[in-house]
Every structure is written in structure tokens, then in C-alpha cells.
């Protein structure tokens, strides 16, 4: 499938193909610069881990850099260095993504290495050493109270299974993982049908599509199982935790929101800007401008089959209750006032605010879509969740088309004033 | 295989410089294929030159610039930015105070008009002062929630001579005590167009840029405070700060080549050899071979006044001693048995990083401004490339002869005082 440019029909905006191998291939040819990016997205993450595997997706992400059937860990490291490649990877609850950017003349080599890495060696000694690195990473985040709170909150909100499972795992769960378990996980999840290869740069689509097909031939071809379903659980409760490293109060609220395929996600993005953008939003004026909070934000995170509003605030510990009251007063006002063009009552969101949020959102989209890596990543992620690649012009159109009725429907279906609130205070 | 469409990229040297009559240096870079404009005003005035007893004033001033002017209330100002989709931020660091605006080309004039009101008629409203102070006190309070940042901060305070030893977060008591009147006076006397740089990059019409900036910003008057003289560095010592963390932080700091030193580019290449990409010696020896930590790196930074090399690792307390020993061994002889491949890789990686990062319009605008402030011109890509490529073993040896990696200042923050280093008492800490 080629996504056409309506302004200039001969210039495609995106090339999307399912290759004979089963891999989904994407190429955004609109970037004209000296660099190009390659992204390999595997549809697997913490959500797909079963009991005894917690933390394995992330551990595997590290092991993918520790050698393949054709290259040792050192070979990989030195090859990236020789190419001057800016390479990295991340694991979330729903995806494991490997990516790199190089000067145009090295794209072929980067593409070859990243696809070779999808068949990792899992060498015993490398496995033993890398496990120590993972345990250090877990220790690092255990010293960050806001991260500890986030993990506790999402685990509780989503019931501790599927979405909301810890990406890092615990030091106990990671320590217990063995090489055979990981090999089994690779065979189960690193399958061709479970991968998206996304490129952005001044490259020939056909050439790289064929090359992708050739380079994944050794990977298993069977369909990977779908991810387990997740459900959110909103009780409107407040749960308080204490952490000895805390010097601030961290408040983290969760409520149900639209999922990644729900068209209401565009309205959610705009309402998030109106309510909780970093500056000039309802929460900003109530809490940050007044100096009560260091930051206060709310936005919507959409995932596969489930989504959530996320409220995040940092404030002085002695003021956390006042901050909570004032934050929920803002959210409740908007929930009650709704979205109305003419009748302003309480916290009604006006047409003017909606237009302003659209302007803000559209400008940011243009500015944030400048570099090839951002484009290639956005395309791969959009394809994973929605079955269509990210195309800037289409995204902008969808944002422009959001109506006040959409926002009202969003509030009715996904209220913002009833949340589970999780609070981390100093011990 | 690649297509051969000509790239529209332009060299750093395509920047057009000129000065307004009030002394503000303008740097304009036309990038016709880009869809937006990024504008950075950088004034070389920061916390390091804040008056004694008012350390942190620059932070408050930068934040207060968005809180209202004589023509706009704070809310009107931010709403005007938002109505035009102008992304804005103000910030201050040790050495500079900056305003960044990013917008679509059709909003260029509006962006400059709003910049003008912030610069020429800031209100510093009395009722905004306490809330703004509270924001920075929150920031100071949160320092302990990020142990690596805390460790860096505590070491800087003991490594640099006054006033460069100041924390970029300011001093709690000073922030609490500074008055509106003092801030208004400081804005008038310490911050001005003279000595500052306004860098703009993106889809520009140079004639429009020139006309609009001259029309709107010429009425802004004043001069930036000179950067204080750098005194003698204190004796380098090693410190231990007790903290019951899951991890222990370890930071070494060495003097290195400043920006205009003949050894500057050798310093950059050396930091690539130590921790460039995933191939640096520290990364391979400390993390990849031994699994001692998740985060380990070395970074060279060169300013006009000084240069330094910082090496960092975070590890669990029971492994901190071994980590320190392995790092120390590598840092003591960083180019021992250096092969041609290793050197070539370090230089290629550095050059690739520079070219790729400059594809971002905002990074381009900012780096042009910083270049101008540090070396008085925008360096061309060819100049940087040839300087990096000319670094060989003799140049690295000369760097290490001038700046040997010996006797660093160091800090470890965590549960173990493994080297019996000088313990920092709780009341001597910054947060």
C-alpha cells in the first residue's frame, strides 16, 4: 500500500507492505537529509510475559546486543562504532524496539546488523554478566521515588497482569530467569509476523523491502500469539505509600481512557492540553503558577485495547492534601461544566480553548516530526497499534476535525474526576 | 544502496551574522526545506555572576519573564504564545540565561513582538515572586530523589573556585530572601543586548528577519555583565557523602582542555575513546565485560574559562570498590595500546554525532549561539571535521601531558566509604 500525497500525487508519503516473509515493512521517503533511521519493532513486552518470566522482555532487549549467530557482542559493538551509528533500544509493556540513525551511506550496514540481532545467540557467559547489569538498572530505579510510585500505581490499576506488569521485573524475578527460558521466549515472540521494520530517509523502498525479506529468512515464520487482554480498575480510592528517599510528595492518578484504536484519542490529546499541559493549562494556573506544585500534568496514554488518563503532580509533602483537593476541584469543574460553545458554567471548556489546544498540538506535531528517527519510530508504533502508519498530514487532519461533541462524548465515557490516586510521601 | 537526490543541508558557515545597534549579535541561518523556525536568545549571564547573598536570582529572573509585562498579564502572554502555536521556554544555568521560541514561519513577527515585550517591559509582578521562589525550592528539594545529579552537584561545589563552584540550582536561603526590587535592578544592570546573541534558524526570509529584528528589538538597551574572572582551583580531594541508596554513585573530575586550547579536539576524541557509543573503553571494561553497572560514561566539556573530564558510574555498594579500581586503571592509561582502528572509530563516531545532531533545526540554532559566545564565530563543519581528523596519537599524548588524568577530585555518594575519603557532614550538603 502506498499512502499518496494529496498535494502531489506522484510523491508518496509512505510505503507500507506486508512482505512475503510476514514482516511488515514501512518506508517514509519524505525526509531529505544526510541521515537515515532504521527501526525494528517487535510486538512483545512485559504484557506478554507469563509467570516466572517477569522482566524477561527487557533482559532480552539487552541480550540482543550481546551476540548473534554471525557476530559476537564485541563485533556488534565495534561495527556500530565503525558506522558512527547512534543506536539504542527500549522495552515497554507492549513492544521492544531497536533503532539507529546513521549517515545515508551506512544504512544498508545498519539494517543488516539490526536484523541479524533479531536472532540472538544468548551466550551463557554474556547472559551471566548481563544479568548483573539488569540488576544494577533495577537498583538505580529503586532510588527514584516517582518511578517506584509509577510501578506500584499501574500494577494496581491494571490488576497486576498484562498492561501494568513491571517492565524491569524485580531483582528476584530477574535473578531466577535462565537461558533456556529466554530461548523459549525468543522462539515464541521474535517471529517474522510479529515484527515491523520501519525506515525513514532518502532511500529506495523496493531495494530495502527485498533486503528486509532476505535478511529475516532465518527467523521463525509462524504467527505469534496475541497479547492477553487487560482491564483497568477505577475505584476512586486513594492509596498512600512511603519511601525513605522521598523529599517531595508525588501524586499519581489513573482513570480509564480511550485505547489506541479509539477515535476519541484525538479529543483526549486536546483535552489533556487544556487540562494539564506544562504551561497555560487549567492545572498549571491552579497549582504551578501559584507555586503549590513543581509540576502538574494530565494526559492520556492509549494502549492496545485499553487506555488511561494519567495525572502526575510533585509538591511539598506538607501540602499534598491541599494539592489533591485543588487538583480534583479543577477536574470536577470541567467534568460538570462539560464542553460548551456558549453556556459558560463552572469549568466549562470553551470553543476558544479547544481551538487554542488544536493550534498548540498542530505546531508541536510539525516541530517534532523533523528528524528521521522520530518519523520512523512514530510510523512503526502507529502501525502496531492502529494498523496504519503515522502520516503527519493525516494526523493533522484528524486533530483539526475534533469537535466539541467529541470532547463531550469523551468526558461522558471517560470521566476525569474519578480516579485512583496513588501518593508517595517521605517516610 | 541510496538514491542520489541532492540534500538540501547547508553548512554551519552559511549563517549570516550581523549586530544590532544596541549590541545584540544576530545569527540567521536559512534552511528552506524546514517547516518551522527556532529562535534562541542566549545572554552570557547566569548564576555564577549573581550577587553574593542573591545566588539563584538568574533562575528567578528567567522564570519571571513569562509572568507578565507592562502590556500583558502573565495569562495574556502565555495565551498569546499558545494562540499562535509558539512553543516557549526560559531558563538560566550557571553561565547563561536563555529564551527559546519555536514557531511556524507565518508567526515570525508575532514571536518577535512577544519576545520584545518580555525583554523591554518585564513586570516582575510582586504577587508572582513567592510562587516562583517556591518552584525553585521544589527543585532544590527534589535533588535527593536523583542521586547521580546530587553527587555531580556536590562534587562541582568542591572542585571549582568561587564563584564557579556555585550550584546551578541556586542557594535556598538566597532564593528565599531576594526581593522584587533587587531582581528588577539586576535585570536592568546585568542583562542586556550588549554581549548577547540571538540565533535564528529555519524557513526564514532574511530580509524580513533583518527588518523585523531591527524594528522590534533596537529599543532594548543595556549590557550583559562580564563573566567573573576564574581564580585558582582548590586542591583536588576525594569526598564521601553517606546516603542509604540501593546504588552508590561514583564521580571523578579532572581538569582538561578548554574551548580555545590547541588540545580541545583531542579532549573530545579522548572522551569518545573512553565512552563513545558502546565501544568506549569504560563501557566495554566496566559494563560489558564485568557487568559492574548499568550507567558508566566519561564526558569532556570545554568552555572558554575551563575544561574538564567527568567520569561517572552508579553501582551497588558491594561492587563500588571494584568499579572504582577498574575505572581508575582505564583512566590512568587511557591510550595504552591504542590501535588505529580504535582511534578511527572514535573520530568517525564523533563526526557522525556532530552531523546527525545538526539536522535538528533547534539544535542548530542553539549550537550557533553557543559557538558565538565561546569562540566569537560559528565554526564551519569543515573546520570541525578537519580538526577532529587531525587528532592522532601524538595529539592525544600532548593532551595527556598538558592535562594528565591523575589525582582527580572525586565523590562517592552511598552506603560505603570504601576508600576512607573525606566524609561530608549532613550540614555541609547542598540540599
Highest mean pLDDT out of A119-128, A385-394, B368-377: A119-128
Q: In this structure, what DSSP letter does residue B50 have?
A: S
**A136 and A244 share a domain?**
no
Query: How many angstroms from the chain centroid is the CA of residue B161?
Result: 19
Q: Phi, psi (5° rounding) for residue B372?
A: -60, -40
Per residue in A294-333, pLDDT (tens digit) is 999 999 999 999 999 999 999 999 999 999 999 999 999 9
Q: Which of B199, B196, B204 is nearest to B220 (CA)?
A: B196
B133 to chain A: closest CA residue: A291
Q: Do A144 and B145 touch (CB under 8 A)?
A: yes
How is residue B400 written as a grid cell?
A: 595527556
Burial pattern B184-207, b for ≥16 Cβ within 10 A else e, equals eebbeebbbbbbbbbbbbbbbeee
Q: Clarify whether residues A264 and A180 are in a common domain.
A: no
* Same-domain check for residues A204 and A309: no
Residues A75, A203 within the same domain: yes
The sign of the CA dihedral B110, B115, B120, B125 is positive
CA distance A256 to chain B (A): 28
Domain co-membership, A202 together with A243: no
Q: Could you say which residues from 2 to 61 on chain B have a Cβ atom under 8 Å away from some Cβ of chain A?
A: 2-3, 5, 7-9, 33-36
CB contact B162 to A (< 8 Å): no
B249 and B181 fall within a common domain = no
| d(C-alpha B278, C-alpha A282), whole Å | 44
According to the model, what pLDDT value does residue A307 have? 95
The pLDDT > 90 percentage for chain B reads 91
Residues B122 and B18 in one domain: yes
> Which chain A residue's Cα is nearest to B287?
A133
pLDDT of residue B6: 32
CB A53 within 8 A of CB A185: yes
Look at A12-21, A173-182, A316-325 and tell me which has the smallest mean pLDDT.
Answer: A12-21
Residue A188 lies in a domain: yes
Taking CA atoms, A387 is separated from A1, A26, A95, A278, B30, in Å, by 12, 12, 15, 31, 38
The residue among B185, B217, B249 that closes a domain is B217
Helix, coil or strand: residue B395: helix
Task: Please tell me the total count of domains within chain A.
Answer: 2
Q: Do residues A172 and A272 both lie within one domain?
A: no
CB burial class (10 A; 0-12, 13-18, 19+) of residue B338?
Answer: middle
Q: Are residues A176 and A312 in the same domain?
A: no
A140 touches chain B (CB under 8 A): yes
In a domain, B347, yes or no: yes
Angle between helices B340-357 and A73-83 (to 10 degrees): 50
Contact B278 A77 (CB under 8 A): yes
Specify if A225 maps to a domain: no
A136 touches chain B (CB under 8 A): yes
Rounded Cα distance, B395 and B402, in Å = 11
Q: How far apart are CA B314 and CA B148, in angstroms?
A: 8
| B2 within domain boundaries | no
Coil, strand, or helix at residue B296?
strand
CA distance B37 to chain A (A): 9
B chain contacts of residue A103, beta-carbon cutoff 8 Å: 352, 355-356
What are the chain A neighbours of B277 within 8 Å (beta carbons)?
77, 80-81, 85-87
Q: β-pairing, B409-414 with B238-242?
A: parallel
What grid cell was written down for A63?
541480550
CA distance from start to end of chain B: 55
Q: Which of B188, B217, B246 is the last residue of a domain?
A: B217
Helix (H, G, I), strand (E, B) or coil at A176: helix
Shared domain check, A103 and A31? yes
For residue range A325-377, what is the model confidence (pLDDT) as tens digits? 999 999 999 999 888 766 555 678 999 999 999 999 999 999 999 999 999 99
Whole-angstrom Cα distance, residue A16 to residue A205?
9
Contact status of A80 with chain B (Cβ, < 8 Å): yes
Which residues, in sequence order, are bridge partners of residue A72? A67
Do the Cβ atoms of A369 and A392 come closer than 8 Å? yes
Torsion of CA B212, B218, B219, B225, to 10 degrees: 130
Is A295 within a domain?
A: yes
Q: Which residue of A has its CA nearest to B63?
A: A289
Do B86 and B211 sit in the same domain of this protein? yes
**Is A291's CB within 8 Å of B247's CB?**
no
Tell me: do B43 and B179 sit in the same domain: yes
Q: Are B388 and B347 in contact (CB under 8 A)?
A: yes
Where a domain ends, among B217, B250, B284?
Answer: B217
Are both A206 and A328 inside the same structural domain? Answer: no
| A228 located within any domain | no
* Touching A: B residues 369-398, CB under 8 Å: none
* Within-domain flag for B399: yes
Q: What is the CATH classification number for the domain harbouring B76?
A: 3.30.830.10
Is B34 in Cβ contact with A366 (below 8 Å)? Answer: no
B145/A245 Cβ within 8 A: yes
Find, in chain B, the residue whose alpha carbon is nearest to that of A146. B145
pLDDT at residue A5 is higher than 60: no
In a domain, B7, yes or no: no
CB contact under 8 A, A105 and B36: no
User: Do B154 and B260 lie in a common domain?
Assistant: no
Q: In this structure, are B24 and B157 located in the same domain?
A: yes
What stretches of A338-423 show up as alpha helix (H) in DSSP? 351-368, 372-386, 392-400, 404-413
Could you tell me if B18 and B160 lie in one domain? yes
The answer to whether residue B360 neighbours chain A at the CB level (below 8 Å) is yes
Domain with A413 in it = 238-426
B89 to chain A, closest Cα gap in Å: 10
| B residues 168..187 contacting A (CB < 8 A) | none
Question: Which string of DSSP letters, residue by residue, matches A18-66?
Answer: E-TTS-EEEEETT--SSEEEEEEEES-SGGGPPTT-TTHHHHHHHHTTS
Residues B160 and B286 both lie in one domain: no
Interface contacts A/B by beta carbons within 8 Å: 208
Give me the count of residues in chain B.
Answer: 431
- Say whether residue B141 is in contact with chain A using an 8 A CB cutoff: yes
Task: For chain B, say whether A279 makes contact (Cβ under 8 Å).
Answer: yes
Judge if B195 and B146 occupy the same domain: yes
- Is residue B414 within 8 Å of residue B320, measured between CB atoms? yes
Which of B 285-324 lie inside 8 A of A, CB atoms? Answer: 287-295, 314-316
Task: Kindly state whether residue B45 falls inside one of the protein's structural domains.
Answer: yes
The answer to the question of residue B227 being in a domain is: no
Cα B171 from Cα B8, distance rounded (Å): 47
Please check whether residue B39 lies inside any domain of the structure: yes
Whole-number mean pLDDT of chain A?
93
Output the nine-digit C-alpha cell for B328: 581508575
State whether B334 and B268 are in the same domain. Answer: yes
Say which of A146, A292, A356 has its CB closest to residue B145: A146
- Determine if residue B385 is left, alpha or beta; phi over 0 gives left, psi from -120 to 50 gives alpha, anything else beta: alpha
The length of chain A is: 427
Checking if the pLDDT of A28 tops 60, the result is: yes
Whether residue A206 is found in the same domain as residue A317:
no
How confident is the model at residue B2, as a pLDDT?
35
- Tally the domains of chain B: 2
B277 and B208 in one domain?
A: no
**By residue range, what is the domain housing residue B133?**
12-217
Of A107, A315, A363, Cβ closest to residue B85 = A363
Please identify among residues 57-76 of chain A the ones whose CB lies closer than 8 Å to any CB of chain B.
65, 73-74, 76
Which carries the bigger pLDDT value, residue A16 or residue A30?
A: A16
For an interface test with A, give the residue of B74, B81, B82 to mutate (most A CBs within 10 A).
Answer: B82
Asked whether residue B150 is assigned to any structural domain, the reply reads: yes
Tell me the pTM: 0.94
| CATH code (residue A71) | 3.30.830.10
Considering only the beta carbons, identify the residue of A81, A285, A367 that sits closest to B102.
A367
Q: Residue A249 falls within a domain, yes or no?
A: yes
In this structure, the answer to whether residues B143 and B265 fall within a common structural domain is: no
Contact B315, B339 (CB under 8 A): no
Q: Are residues A191 and A253 in the same domain?
A: no
| A222 lies in some domain | no
pLDDT in tens, chain B (431 residues): 333 333 334 455 588 999 999 999 999 999 998 999 999 999 999 999 999 999 999 999 999 999 999 999 999 999 999 999 999 999 999 999 999 999 999 999 999 999 999 999 999 999 999 999 999 999 998 999 999 999 999 999 999 999 999 999 999 999 999 999 999 999 999 999 999 999 999 999 999 999 999 999 999 999 999 999 999 999 999 999 999 999 999 999 999 999 989 999 999 999 999 999 899 999 999 999 999 999 999 999 999 889 999 999 999 999 999 999 999 999 999 999 999 999 999 999 999 999 998 889 999 999 999 999 999 999 988 899 999 999 999 999 999 999 999 999 999 999 999 999 999 998 888 76
Same domain, A211 and A243: no
Amino acid at each position: 500500500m502506498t499512502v499518496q500525497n494529496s498535494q502531489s500525487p506522484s510523491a508518496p508519503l509512505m510505503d507500507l507492505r506486508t512482505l512475503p516473509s510476514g514482516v511488515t515493512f514501512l518506508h517514509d521517503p519524505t525526509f531529505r537529509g544526510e541521515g537515515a533511521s532504521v527501526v525494528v519493532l517487535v510486538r512483545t513486552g512485559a504484557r506478554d510475559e507469563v509467570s516466572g518470566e517477569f522482566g524477561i522482555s527487557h533482559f532480552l532487549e539487552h541480550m540482543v546486543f550481546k551476540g548473534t549467530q554471525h557476530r559476537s557482542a564485541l563485533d556488534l559493538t565495534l561495527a556500530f562504532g565503525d558506522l558512527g551509528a547512534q543506536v539504542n533500544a527500549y522495552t515497554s509493556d507492549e513492544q521492544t524496539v531497536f533503532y539507529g540513525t546513521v549517515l545515508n551511506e551506512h544504512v544498508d550496514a545498519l539494517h543488516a546488523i539490526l536484523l541479524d540481532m533479531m536472532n540472538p545467540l544468548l551466550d551463557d557467559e554474556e547472559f551471566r554478566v548481563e544479568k548483573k547489569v539488569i540488576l544494577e538498572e533495577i537498583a538505580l530505579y529503586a532510588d527514584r521515588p516517582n518511578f517506584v510510585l509509577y510501578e506500584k500505581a499501574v500494577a494496581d490499576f491494571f490488576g497486576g497482569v498484562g498492561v501494568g506488569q513491571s517492565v524491569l521485573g524485580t531483582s528476584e524475578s530477574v535473578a531466577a530467569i535462565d537461558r533456556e527460558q529466554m530461548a523459549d521466549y525468543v522462539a515464541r515472540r521474535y517471529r517474522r509476523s510479529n515484527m515491523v521494520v520501519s525506515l525513514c530517509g532518502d532511500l529506495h523502498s523496493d531495494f530495502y523491502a527485498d533486503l528486509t525479506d532476505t535478511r529475516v529468512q532465518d527467523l521463525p515464520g509462524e504467527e505469534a500469539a496475541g497479547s492477553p487482554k487487560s482491564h483497568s480498575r477505577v475505584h476512586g480510592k486513594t492509596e498512600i505509600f512511603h519511601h525513605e528517599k522521598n523529599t517531595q510528595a508525588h501524586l499519581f492518578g489513573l482513570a480509564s481512557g480511550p485505547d489506541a484504536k479509539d477515535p476519541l484519542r484525538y479529543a483526549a490529546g486536546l483535552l489533556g492540553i487544556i487540562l494539564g499541559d506544562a504551561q497555560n493549562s487549567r492545572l498549571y494556573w491552579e497549582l504551578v503558577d501559584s507555586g503549590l506544585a513543581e509540576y502538574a500534568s494530565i494526559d492520556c496514554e492509549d494502549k492496545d485495547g485499553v487506555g488511561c488518563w494519567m495525572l502526575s503532580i510533585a509538591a511539598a509533602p506538607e501540602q499534598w492534601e491541599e494539592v489533591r483537593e485543588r487538583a480534583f476541584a479543577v477536574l470536577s469543574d470541567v467534568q460538570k461544566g462539560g464542553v460548551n460553545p456558549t453556556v459558560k458554567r463552572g469549568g466549562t471548556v470553551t470553543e476558544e480553548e479547544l481551538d487554542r489546544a488544536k493550534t498548540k498540538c498542530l505546531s508541536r506535531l510539525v516541530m517534532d516530526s523533523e528528524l528521521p528517527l522520530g518519523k520512523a519510530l512514530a510510523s512503526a508504533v502507529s502501525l502496531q497499534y492502529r494498523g496504519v502508519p503515522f502520516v503527519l498530514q493525516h494526523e493533522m487532519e484528524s486533530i483539526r476535525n475534533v469537535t466539541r461533541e467529541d470532547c463531550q462524548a469523551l468526558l461522558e465515557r471517560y470521566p476525569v474526576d474519578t480516579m485512583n490516586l496513588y501518593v508517595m510521601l517521605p517516610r | 544502496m541510496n538514491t542520489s537526490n541532492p540534500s538540501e543541508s547547508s553548512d554551519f558557515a552559511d549563517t549570516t551574522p550581523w549586530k544590532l545597534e544596541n549590541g545584540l549579535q544576530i545569527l540567521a541561518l536559512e534552511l528552506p526545506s524546514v517547516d518551522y523556525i527556532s529562535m534562541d536568545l542566549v545572554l552570557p549571564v547566569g548564576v555564577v555572576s549573581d550577587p553574593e547573598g542573591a545566588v539563584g536570582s538568574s533562575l528567578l529572573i528567567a522564570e519571571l519573564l513569562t509572568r507578565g509585562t507592562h502590556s500583558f498579564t502573565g495569562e495574556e502572554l502565555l495565551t498569546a504564545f499558545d494562540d499562535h502555536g509558539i512553543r516557549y521556554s526560559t531558563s538560566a544555568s550557571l553561565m547563561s540565561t536563555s529564551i527559546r521560541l519555536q514557531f511556524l514561519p507565518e508567526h515570525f513577527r508575532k514571536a518577535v513582538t512577544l519576545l520584545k515585550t518580555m525583554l523591554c517591559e518585564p513586570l516582575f509582578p510582586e504577587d508572582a515572586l513567592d510562587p516562583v521562589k517556591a518552584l525553585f525550592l521544589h527543585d532544590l528539594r527534589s535533588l535527593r530523589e536523583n542521586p547521580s545529579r546530587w553527587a555531580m552537584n556536590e562534587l562541582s561545589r568542591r572542585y571549582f573556585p568561587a564563584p564557579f563552584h556555585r550550584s546551578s540550582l541556586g542557594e535556598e536561603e538566597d532564593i528565599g530572601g531576594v526581593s522584587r526590587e533587587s531582581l528588577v535592578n539586576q535585570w536592568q544592570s546585568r542583562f542586556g543586548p550588549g554581549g548577547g546573541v540571538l540565533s535564528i534558524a529555519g524557513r526564514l526570509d532574511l530580509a524580513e528577519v533583518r527588518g523585523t529584528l531591527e524594528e522590534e528589538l533596537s529599543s532594548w538597551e543595556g549590557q550583559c555583565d562580564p563573566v567573573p574572572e576564574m581564580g585558582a582551583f582548590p586542591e583536588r580531594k576525594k569526598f564521601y557523602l553517606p546516603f542509604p541508596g540501593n546504588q552508590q554513585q561514583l564521580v571523578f573530575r579532572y581538569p582538561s582542555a578548554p574551548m580555545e586550547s590547541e588540545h580541545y579536539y583531542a579532549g573530545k576524541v579522548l572522551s569518545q575513546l573512553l565512552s563513545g557509543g558502546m565501544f568506549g573503553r569504560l563501557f566495554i571494561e566496566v559494563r560489558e565485560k564485568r557487568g559492574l553497572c548499568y550507567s558508566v560514561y566519561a564526558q569532556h566539556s570545554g568552555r572558554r574559562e575551563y575544561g574538564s573530564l567527568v567520569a561517572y558510574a552508579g553501582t551497588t555498594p558491594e561492587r563500588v570498590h571494584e568499579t572504582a579500581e577498574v575505572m581508575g586503571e582505564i583512566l590512568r592509561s587511557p591510550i595504552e595500546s591504542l590501535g588505529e582502528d580504535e582511534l578511527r572509530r572514535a573520530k568517525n563516531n564523533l563526526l557522525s554525532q556532530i552531523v546527525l545532531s545538526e539536522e535538528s533545526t533547534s539544535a542548530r540554532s542553539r549550537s550557533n549561539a553557543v559557538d558565538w559566545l565561546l569562540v566569537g564565530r560559528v565554526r564551519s563543519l569543515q573546520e570541525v571535521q578537519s580538526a577532529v581528523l587531525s587528532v592522532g596519537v601524538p595529539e592525544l599524548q600532548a593532551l595527556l601531558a598538558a592535562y594528565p588524568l591523575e589525582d582527580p577530585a572525586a565523590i562517592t555518594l552511598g552506603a560505603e566509604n570504601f576508600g576512607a575519603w573525606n566524609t561530608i557532614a549532613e550540614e555541609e550538603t547542598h540540599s
